[in-house]
Structure 1
Amino acid sequence: MPTHSLVIPRFGRALLVAAAAFSLVSAPLHAAEKLWTAKLKEKVTWNALTDLGTLLIGTNGAVQSFDPDTGELLWTRDDLDKTSEFNVREVHGAPYLLCNHSKGLGGTKVKLMAIDYLSGETVWETDEIMGQYLATYSIPSHQMAIFALNSWEGSKDEQGMIFRAVDVLTGEVKWQTRYGKANEVRLHIADNTGKFAPRQDLSGYHDPLVDGDMAYLGFRGVDALNLTTGEIVWTQEFKPGHKDFKRTYAPLRIDGDRIYAAGGGSVLALNKADGSVLWKSDRISSYAGLFKSRDNAIVSQVEPINGKVFIRFGGNFSNGQSVLLREPLGVAAFDANTGDELFKFAKPKEGITNLMIIPEHNTVLFADAKKLYGLNIEGAAVTEKFEVEIEFKRKMGGGDVAKIGLGALGGLSGLAKGAMSSSKSRLDVPVAIVRRDGHIVVMGKQHLMAFDPVAQDIKWSTYYAAPGNVLGDSLMFAVTALAATAGNAQVAQAPSYSSSQYRSGVGNIHGALDRYNARAGKRNAATQSSGGYSYVLTNVEEGRKKGIGLMGISLENGEGEKQLLLKDKKPEYLVDEALDRLFHIEKGKTIIAYGL
């Protein structure tokens, strides 16, 4: 849910939580305390934490909400069946969930609604619409929600992909705009969709970027949507990075009177007023082989700073069912005014993290499988400032390698390239760089490393091997299709490196919602006093008992200081790191909450 700058979001935290580990800590560890248990009637299909920390559980038959402190069932909505997390979205800054319910043949009768997520009561609902639900976007600054649908109502000129804007408080329709034909935008497989009747939606695209009274959409290039009138002011179309993967248009960035975007292997600078192309870079691409066509790079991040535009190309992408490493991999920089290429780095091997902009030190950080790189962005040129070998002070010995079994990696694709590379002593590739509690942390599937960009030194690092019975399954890349990857997901959460997840304009909503404000204040106070831990999966021991569990790693020193034995071969869980609390979904039908 909302986060600041490049702090990893909730779904990115879920990836970090799923990092595989093997405990080598011998010091006494703080044991977790069981807080409550709740039985479910159906297996969980998705789960999420709201802004206030309440726990949402989706099953095939309903959506339920639980009090995170007591385990009390707050409400059940069995009219919200067969949902995914993308169907149930928050209005940030208010306790509202924007939902949709489909019924009829093929789910062609759609009803849109808002419910109070503290009480489960319906705030408002629309009449049924004949069509296909695609997405919901909350615009708190305008007290507005935009629903995207393929509509089959009205004349042929009225049918197609539409945007319907409604007042968040009342559900009153403010405007409706026909965006284009029903098949004009490529859809992707919805998360948690059924195997035999897969649904498709707009979860393969980043949310609109709001700037004043305009929302900039990234569904077919860039569209400028007037939030007051619903008019599509201008459109600049270009191809995505790859049509079959999710989120291969880079998140849009605004800098002054320009919008920076990417697609089809190129970077574009657009005039914010009319969408005209100010410059377009040459295609970044590689030849797959002598008899194969050229393969355009997927430009997955664009960051303007200091009169330059930095990009990352390649990385890990989801097609809605699996996650693959997509090459070529690299970083480049362009002159923001002219589009001239200033720098290109195509040496990353076997993986690449997000770009981490550190403006106070005029540095851009990124990592591949073996090194952490720093670029100096202070002057007119871009130069390499440092290269730091990724070494882990806690390393895996030969006995641990034997416990894992390298054969477990054989059937994996994409990220397995890194694991099966020359780095077999580590079996890990960094996937993201994040800011956590004042630290810059390089994050892998099996390691954490804190880095000081001033001293250009590793402050601490830790590495653990994975439990062998789960390495080849979900833990190798335990990530939802919606999140795609920690690196790709987190950079989309804010309009730029320096901004926070915006909450502007919600004061008029806040004023009348005392229960929300009281709970938000309580959570904020608790968050400020939390200890700063990240949790990784590991083999742990509690007395004579041993098995898969969690290790809490202190972000101050990298030491494992907390642990919890889960007694589950393939555990499913959420960690609320703000409150050091874990929700274990045991065998898909029992929620057990622990204080860590």
Structure 2
Amino acid sequence: MKILLLQFKLMMMIALFFGTTSANAQKAETPNQSYDLGSSINEMTLTVGGVLVVATNDGLVGIRPTESQPVFRFNDFGKLKPEETQFVPNSPYIIVTQGVGSKFAGIAKTKRAVIDYMTGKVIFNSDTDNWNQVFTCDVVLPQNKLILSGIQKEGDKFEKTTPKVAVYDLGASKLDYSFFLDKPGRVGVAKDVSVTGTPLLLKDMLIIPTAQGLVAKSHTGEDIWTTKIKGINWMVADATEKEIYGFETTSNGKNTRIHKIGNNGAELWKDDRKVQGNISNFQILPQGLAVVSDKSDGGSSSVFSTKNESEIAFLSANSGEDLWDKAPKTKGYVQHFYVQDDGILFGIQQGGINKISFDGKTLFKKPLKTGENILVMAESPQGLIYITGEDANIVDLKTGDQVWKKPLKYKNSAAVASTFDSAKNRYLIAADDTVFAIDANSGDVSELAKVKFDEKEAANTMEMRDGNIFLSASQNLMMLGDNGDQKYHGYYKSPGKSGFMKVMGGVMAVASTGLAMAHAAKAGMNKTGYGSSNNLRNYNDYGKENQRAADMFASIGDASFNMMSQRFKATAATENAQFILTKLDDGVGLVKVNKDTGNVDKEIVLKDKKPEYQVDDLAGVLYYKANDKSIYAYDLNK
């Protein structure tokens, strides 16, 4: 009986293996859409809105797979270099720049255009709007405005050479208002009135940082006030918009000066406050101002050079004075920074977690030692869970005491994956070819399973699926039962060289969405209604990025943002399938693998040893560069 049972199990395993690699999968040689772009293709970019933007020798082309014709063609400026095309984060906008601007009229001509890739509208074009030069061009969200400065070829001879600022309504695709930065035809010594940083748009005014000082204008362009505070790079206002902080990078680039201004233009601090390094995080709190600045030695090997580390300061909003007698030591760069009710929690990239109260007292009994590269810091019912490339643990958020008896340690992994098994009330962590199970109540650790992926890959994704544990990497995927037994292992040979590590750095509590929620070039700069990134998230909320993105886009209310919101409300194509590029019998191709069964549901042969392609994980679309001038789109959902 035992022999018969073993034979039956063996037959089932063989059947399952062939089921995962069989030729019964649907093959798709004919694309659902094909696009002849009429010009050589140089680059393909999949946007957050789901439109594929293709750079050709003629310009830019936008493709939406549900439409047989491109959403737009922008050939006004001809061929564009990669650095001449800027995709504005978390928006449907592309800023195109050609030529090098000058703050002095007549030196060089610049061309700028702003394209809404969702609708295909060209909202602004410096050629058609008679701008000879555009020095700065900023999209401001969530107000959905475009603010630019430059020289416009309109008016008399003086107006044609006087710098001006214009504000456009991006949703309505029209000019709101414009104004000159200097009086046209003014007699006297020439003034440099160039814009030095990002303007700050408030409810009642627009503040422009210039080389002569800050200029405040009404929303119709009338003068409100000016100051002599020069060279501001970026600004942020408090919730009331009555107090404004301006940040000025010093000439050597190693320090930052902070100025405080009232909404009437008055300087509210007797002296500005200087901090070492460039500010990477800034938050206005009821208790004061939290500031993180990053110092760099610039590559110097001198013993007197600056240390490569972050400084954390807590300043008085009233005076700018440091409220802490002694700043916490970081000995590295701040990788995580969270504001909580009782103080500030921070994690260091080189390892270490600490918490300090708003009055400068250390809340943890001693700094917590961790491995390098803290991939996850999140709140759980048991406390703060952290996961690094070397260890994991849960600690008490009040004291820093370990909740687990000792940290889970593993060999430094290029990738670590984790999830929470609510049915068994346990954390699961995959690292060093092992799946560890940690009881949420007791903290007891056990090795649940050994995971051996081909091509020396490490699992970078883990999720619970109907009580089973799904793991995957670039070329491998595996399903384990809740007791660690292997249900299936699918391996699809990489089309390139095998035997090297192909992993995505980072920890994923569940499948990622591909949408980065924080794109700010500088922390706190023109903070929008998207919410603060300094809030410690709950570990079990890591899978809600799609809904957060949908809500974020919907809050703006514009038609293009609504289209983007609907995209993130839809079920992601990767929820039940994984798309893998591999070697097939007929050549290199993409396979769609069912996560629950391990079966290949679809094959698309690309017949190209090194195919150029993009996969939209959310919509389930494969874009393939079929030849020098053509793009094919395949629907992976069918």
Assess same fold via TM > 0.5.
Answer: yes
- Against the structure 1 CA distance between its residues 35 and 592, is the aligned structure 2 distance closer, same or farther, given a 3 Å change threshold? same
Any gaps of 5 or more consecutive residues in structure 2?
Answer: 1-17, 151-160, 164-181, 183-189, 214-232, 250-254, 296-308, 409-428, 436-448, 507-511, 521-530, 538-547
* Equivalence map 1:151-550=2 (5 Å): 155=190, 157-159=192-194, 161-164=196-199, 174-178=206-210, 212=239, 213=241, 237-240=274-277, 250=280, 252=282, 257=287, 258-264=289-295, 265-271=309-315, 273=317, 276-279=321-324, 281-285=327-331, 297-305=332-340, 307-314=342-349, 329-337=350-358, 338=360, 340=362, 342=364, 344=367, 347-348=370-371, 352=373, 354-359=375-380, 362-368=383-389, 371=391, 373-383=392-402, 385=404, 387=408, 388=429, 390=431, 391=434, 395-396=451-452, 400-401=454-455, 426-428=456-458, 467=494, 469-470=496-497, 495-496=532-533, 497=535, 500=548, 510=558, 513=559, 517=562, 519=563, 523=567, 527-528=570-571, 530=573, 532-533=575-576, 535=578, 537-541=580-584, 544-550=585-591
Q: Structure 1 residues 305, 252: closer, same or farther in 2, change over 3 A? A: same
Q: Distance in 1 between matches of 2:483 and 2:283?
A: 29
Task: Provide the aligned length of Structure 1 versus Structure 2.
Answer: 463
**Shift in CA distance, 353/396, structure 1 to aligned 2, threshold 3 Å:** same
SS of the counterpart of 1:38? strand
- Provide the residue aligned with 1:139 in structure 2: 141
Per-residue CA distance 1:440-486 (angstroms, 9 max, x = gap): 9998666779999xx9999999796862725699967799xxxxx99
CA drift of 1:520 comes to 5.2
Q: Which amino acid aligns with 1:575?
A: V
SS at match of 2:352: strand
Deviations 1:129-169 (A, max 9, x none): 75765x734321x34345699x996855434623346899x
Residue matched to 1:70: 67
Paired residue secondary structure (1:82): coil
Q: Report if aligned partners of 2:352, 2:369 keep a CA contact under 8 Å in 1.
A: yes
Question: With CA pairs under 8 Å and 6+ residues apart, which has the higher RCO, 1 or 2?
Answer: 1
SS of 2:351's equivalent in the other structure is: strand
1:110 equivalenced with 2:145 (yes/no): no
Aligned identity (percent) is 15
Change (3 A) 1:60 1:503: farther
Provide the rounded CA distance (Å) in 1 between the counterparts of 2:470 and 2:273: 37
Deviations, residues 346-384 of structure 1 (Å, cap 9, x unaligned): 5536xx35324235553333231x55x132344332425
**Larger Cα Rg: Structure 1 or Structure 2?**
2
- State the one-letter code of the partner of 2:123: V
**Paired AA for residue 494 in structure 2:** P
Change in Cα spacing, 1:57 to 1:538, as seen in structure 2 (3 Å) is closer
Report the alpha carbon displacement of residue 62 of structure 1 after superposing the two structures with TM: 1.3
Compared CA separation, residues 312 and 277, structure 1 to 2 (3 A) = same
1:305–1:522 distance in 2 versus 1, CA, 3 Å: closer
Counterpart of 1:263, as a letter, is D
Q: 2: distance between equivalents of 1:449 and 1:254?
A: 46
Alpha-carbon contact 2:382-2:394 (below 8 Å) kept: no
8 Å contact kept, 2:495–2:588: no
Residues 300-354 of structure 1 show CA distances to partners (whole Å, capped at 9, x for unaligned) of 332234635443434xxxxxxxxxxxxxx323222242263735455536xx353
- Matched with 1:578 is 618
Task: State the distance in 1 between where 2:294 and 2:479 align.
Answer: 33
Tell me, what secondary structure is at the counterpart of 2:196? strand
Q: CA RMSD for the aligned pairs? A: 5.8
Distance 2:477 2:262 in 1: 42
Q: Is the 8 A contact 1:307 1:336 kept in 2?
A: yes
1:595 corresponds in structure 2 to 635
Specify the code of the residue in structure 1 equivalent to 2:71: L
Spell out, residue by residue over 1:500-551, the C-alpha distance to the aligned partner (whole angstroms, 9 max, x if none). Answer: 46977986853xx4x874x4576456x147561564544253xx42435355
Q: Pick closer, same or farther for the CA change 1:363–1:124 going to 2, 3 Å.
A: same
Are 2:312 and 2:327, in contact at CA under 8 Å, matched by a contact in 1? yes
d(CA) in 2 for partners of 1:460, 1:178: 64
- CA change 1:143–1:120 in 2 (3 A) is closer
Counterpart Cα distance in 2 of 1:345 and 1:24: 49
**Does structure 2 conserve the Cα–Cα contact (< 8 Å) formed by 1:162 and 1:179?**
no
Does the 8 A contact of 1:396 with 1:463 survive in 2?
Answer: no
Q: CA deviation at 1:69?
A: 0.9
For the residue of structure 2 that corresponds to 1:383, the secondary structure is coil
Change (3 A) 1:176 1:254: closer
Measure the CA separation in 1 of the matches of 2:262 and 2:85: 22
- Bigger shift: residues 432-441 or 251-260: 432-441
Query: 2-side partners of 1:159 and 1:348: how far apart?
Result: 47
What is the distance in 2 between the residues matched to 1:82 and 1:230?
41
Partner SS for 2:619: coil
Change beyond 3 A, Cα 1:505–1:443: closer
Within 5 Å, give how 1:52-131 maps onto structure 2.
53-59=50-56, 61-80=58-77, 81-82=79-80, 84=82, 87-90=85-88, 97=93, 99-103=95-99, 108-125=108-125, 128=131
8 Å CA contact 2:517–2:549 kept in 1: the answer is: no
Aligned to 2:418: none
Map Cα deviations across residues 79-112 of structure 1 (whole Å, 9 max, x no partner): 355254884445867x6x2524333689953344
Change (3 A) 1:441 1:563: same
Structure 2 Cα separation of the partners of residues 143 and 381 of structure 1: 43
- Is the Cα–Cα contact under 8 Å of residues 148 and 161 in structure 1 kept in the other structure? no
Flag the 1:266–1:74 CA change in 2: closer, same or farther, 3 A: closer
Mapped to 2, the partners of 1:443 and 1:389 lie a distance apart of 10
Q: Secondary structure at the match of 2:123?
A: strand
- Cα deviation, 1:375-421, whole Å, max 9, x if unaligned, reads 23443324253525622668547xx55xxxxxxxxxxxxxxxxxxxx
Change (3 A) 1:223 1:546: farther
Question: 2: distance between equivalents of 1:239 and 1:179?
Answer: 23
Contact 1:450 1:460 in 2 (8 A): yes
Amino acid at match of 2:395: N
Counterpart of 1:567 in 2: which secondary structure?
Answer: coil
Structure 1 residue 434 displacement after superposition: 10
**How far apart, in 1, do the equivalents of 2:109 and 2:396 lie?**
53
2:553·2:564 contact (CA, 8 Å) conserved in 1? no
Contact 1:159–1:178, Cα closer than 8 Å, also in 2: yes
